[in-house]
A and B are shown apart, each in its own frame.
Chain A
């Protein structure tokens, strides 16, 4: 109770500090909360950016496509590397080394290849989401107790049964965590892609507001984007809890 109160007090303090700092700053740079609210109202009533729903829909579509591709490729690649010992030992470290490269270095090449439209954002979101999924499958397979597999086989379980009844439950915890991280990174990838260069989508609106020094609109757009980000993570964590309950 005391902790909750202190948290709330801190939040109020931060907003107050933001308000004071925002009022003393150049209005082109500092936007106090009292100025954000009208901007947010204009944004949500579609006065400042009438194409907000279309932009949001495009961004969500890009994220969904990127995530679907990342999950498909990540699961495929992860299982391929995890099921074959030699393949895993040869390609596993190479995958980990590629993961060590900050992914944004690939973005200019992707933009050159796929153009300024949705395809380059999907490709970049895919690239970011792919690695955590693939690496989680690899780590998950390593967690399966090989003796359980041997015993199941000895009792006459087929490959499908072994996979469904033994491997999947043992891997689930790690796998679902990887899928959640993958979604978060897909969202970030698409937004980063849009901000670094795009013609449509929420990132393009943010860039537009920033470029015209419409700082109030910019902050309002950021808040709307944050709802999208937090919403996707809430969705993912709900699925995660369900999957973990199923395992137990």
Chain B
């Protein structure tokens, strides 16, 4: 309880200091507008910003579904076949590690502006962390469980379905929690770099137009949306893990 109250106090004090700094001209209000100027801007950009947010979140959802499905499938396939894992894992780690922004210009040349490059790039961002986590989890499944299941006559299908899948559920959930932020990041970057719609495009056009209050309002909107999404996933995660026991 005190923790919650103190967190609220922190936010309020920060807002008050920010307002004060802008009012007393410690910072140039042209670049850092006071909260009292951002709030009306939020109302003013309301409809357009919500449409942009919906557009961004739609692309993110598509990219997210793709990266979870592909990432989990690839993680299980590569993780459970020893030879595949040994040969591919350095490539996977390297692809996971390199900054994907370097291939973004080429993706845009290839796929053009708009939704397709955003979904593709978002998927690229979300896929690797999920795959790497699932791959590791499949590798670390207790060998004894596999041996026992085999010796009790489990078929390959049963082995995957009854032993492997339940064992990797926590890692899949962790990957899903990590993946959503990566997908959203990827989509926003494409929208900033080569977007026609969406929050990323809106943010960079506000910045280019020196519309600081609108820019701050839009930034706050996206941040709030992503915090809500992540907290909701965390909540779901806790529910599921208490259900699993």
Contact = CB atoms under 8 A, between A and B. Distances in A.
A105 B200 CA distance: 7
Interface in B153-200: 181-182, 184-185, 188-189, 192-193, 199-200
A109 interface: yes
A94 B14 CA distance: 13
B99 A196 contact: no
Contacts, number: 122
Interface string A90-120: 1101100100111111111101110000000
Contact of B193 (A101, A109, A184, A195): A195
B6 interface: yes
Interface residues of B, number: 49
Nearest to A89: B3
Contacts of B98: 226, 229
A207 B104 CA distance: 10
A192 B230 contact: no
Interface stretch (B43-51, B65-73, B137-145, B210-218): B210-218
A109 B221 CA distance: 14
A90 B192 contact: no
A69 interface: no
- Dominant secondary structure at the B interface: helix
Nearest to A210: B105
A103 B223 CA distance: 9
Contacts of A233: 97
Interface residues of A, number: 46
- Dominant secondary structure at the A interface: helix
A104 B185 contact: yes
A206 interface: yes
Nearest to B94: A230
B105 A218 contact: yes
B227 A108 contact: no
Interface of B: 3, 6-7, 10, 31-32, 83, 86-88, 90-91, 97-99, 101-106, 108-110, 181-182, 184-185, 188-189, 192-193, 199-200, 203-204, 206-207, 210, 212, 215-216, 219, 222-223, 226-227, 230-231
4 nearest CB pairs, A to B? A108-B207, A102-B185, A210-B105, A100-B230
